[in-house]
Amino acid sequence: MITINCQSSIKLEGEKILYFDPLQRDTTHDADYIFITHTHWDHFSKEDIQKVRKDTTKIIGPQDILGKSLALGFGREDIILLRPYEEIELGDIHVKTVPAYNLNKDFHPKVNEWLGYVLTMEGTTYYIAGDTDALEENKTLACDMAFLPIGGTYTMTAAEAASFANELKPKVVVPIHYGLVVGDEKDLNQFSSLLNKEIQLEIKIGKN
């Protein structure tokens, strides 16, 4: 099951429970893994990480989550630090990292080595893009479901995201990163209108 409560806060539930950039979540203490794309406040929310973590939770993210995660009480053995183009196995879950950065703005510099994730779990491959523009190096990724930011300003715009999705050709695309800080229903409507009809659109924000 997939739920998105706001922004880029994604929960994937299968044999394991995975969170990506938890934000404005209920208290559940059920996370097996917490994935962080980068350390901006709306992606590394200390309060929400504490709401979903349990004693055995592992937190995964770029190099700059280390100090913040230690300060939250994670043991060093429960913190997995990654850079773009790395691959790891978490039991039966295969994780590959890809770059996430801005091309013509300075909010998410390439040098920070912040992350998107391509994750295969129980036969489905998910691409969680993070805060990024439409990068050439990511347009050939193979995935069944893509979670793409559409709000503009800090990420790709709705039009750019639709063009990127049309090149990526996932079976399903889920727009994220709109409706909280930037982006609104107009962006969602534009994204939907420009998306190739063979790609299934699933709207999760505001539907849970």
Residue 39 is part of which domain span?
Answer: 2-201
pTM given for the model: 0.95
What is the structure's pLDDT at 206? 62
Residue 185 lies in a domain: yes
Q: How many domains does the chain have?
A: 1
Residue 207 lies in a domain: no
* pLDDT tens-digit map of 140-168: 999 999 999 998 888 999 999 999 999 99
Q: Is 80 exposed, middle or buried (0-12, 13-18, 19+ CB in 10 A)?
A: middle
Query: With bands split at pLDDT 50, 70 and 90, how would you rate the model's confidence at 90?
Result: very high
Q: What is the mean pLDDT of residues 189-200?
A: 95
Residue 28 lies in a domain: yes
Has residue 196 got a pLDDT over 70?
yes
* pLDDT tens-digit map of 116-133: 999 999 999 999 999 999
Residue 208 lies in a domain: no
Residue 206 lies in a domain: no
| 98, β-bridge pairs | 116
Residue 90 lies in a domain: yes
CATH number, position 10: 3.60.15.10
Has residue 5 got a pLDDT over 90?
no
Residue 187 lies in a domain: yes
What is the structure's pLDDT at 208? 39
Q: What is the mean pLDDT of residues 62-73?
A: 97
Residue 78 lies in a domain: yes
Q: What is the mean pLDDT of residues 75-79?
A: 98
Mark 141-168 as b/e (b = at least 16 C-beta within 10 Å): bebebbbbbbbbebbbbbbbbbbbbeeb
Greatest CA span in the chain, whole angstroms?
Answer: 46
